[in-house]
Amino acid sequence: MSETLPAEKKRRTRIEPEARRRSIIEATMHCITRHGHSGTTIERICEQAGISIGLIGHHFSSKEELMLCTYQALTDQLRAETEQHLTRKNASARDRLTAMIKSSFKGSIFNAFTLTTWLGFWGAAVSSPELKKLNHTLYFDYRAELEKCFEQAAEEQGKRIDSRSAALTLTALIDGFWLEWTLDHKAFSAAKAQACCQLVATLLLANETS
């Protein structure tokens, strides 16, 4: 028994820092939904997480780094929703495009908490060069994935389309639904928003370019 204790202790020590970082990030999200980005202070994050300021400093070098990590975690959550569909061997490009649209309106993403957090970061990115740079990278990657799906889906139909414009249009449409629903939860359902995006994707694929 004495031989197993050191290993168990080492295992707990290795897991704890990452779990603590995650709890701080989740507390930051909660604060952003309640107070917005500008009103999310280190003191409020500590109170939400039930920790000391020193402990935050142990895991994050600054508030800016914490905010960047939180925005990255939010994006990773959306990416995780689609990853399994994008890598399926037998999935067509149209299937992958459909999966990307569906993932944007799943309950784990399309809810008041998550979308309000997104909205807070969108507003903050206007005045924060670091957040603006991260936002640019994240959206560039997302649109590039959509563009690839549109281009390949058109090829499956024997067509050519402006895949870049199609990806830009669909991204803006999804963002618009997120914003509108955050402001008015009764305006439409997730199913309705998803159906509208699917319709637009179909119309874009039908609009062949020369």
Q: Does 14 score more than 60 pLDDT? A: no
- Does residue 151 lie in a domain region? yes
Confidence of residue 83 (pLDDT cuts 50, 70, 90): confident
19 and 79 in a single domain? The answer is no
Distance in angstroms (rounded) separating the CA atoms of residues 70 and 22: 9
149 and 181 in a single domain? The answer is yes
Instruction: Read off the CATH number of the domain in which 172 is found.
Output: 1.10.357.10
Question: Are the C-beta atoms of residues 45 and 31 closer than 8 Å to each other?
Answer: yes
Longest dimension (CA), the chain: 74
Residue written as tokens 């920790």? 51
Residue-number span of the structural domain to which 180 is assigned: 72-206
Q: Say which range, 75-89, 157-171, 181-195, has the weakest mean pLDDT.
A: 75-89
44 and 132 in a single domain? The answer is no
Distance in angstroms (rounded) separating the CA atoms of residues 98 and 199: 11
Distance in angstroms (rounded) separating the CA atoms of residues 4 and 209: 66
Phi, psi dihedrals of residue 88, rounded to the nearest 5°: -65, 130
pLDDT at 85: 57
- The mean pLDDT value for 180-197 works out to 96
Coil/strand/helix, residue 37: coil
Q: What is the DSSP letter of 68?
A: H
Please give the single-letter amino acid code of residue 53.
Answer: I
- Does residue 198 lie in a domain region? yes
- Does residue 66 lie in a domain region? no
Question: Are the C-beta atoms of residues 84 and 63 closer than 8 Å to each other?
Answer: no
- The set of residues, in sequence order, having a beta carbon less than 8 Å from that of 111 and lying 6+ positions away, is none
Of 29, 60, 91, which marks where a domain is finished? 60
- Does residue 65 lie in a domain region? no
pLDDT tens-digit profile of 58-73? 888 888 899 889 988 8
Dihedral (Cα; 95, 98, 99, 103), 10-degree rounding: 180
110 and 153 in a single domain? The answer is yes
Report how many domains make up the chain.
Answer: 2
49 and 93 in a single domain? The answer is no
Instruction: Read off the CATH number of the domain in which 55 is found.
Output: 1.10.10.60
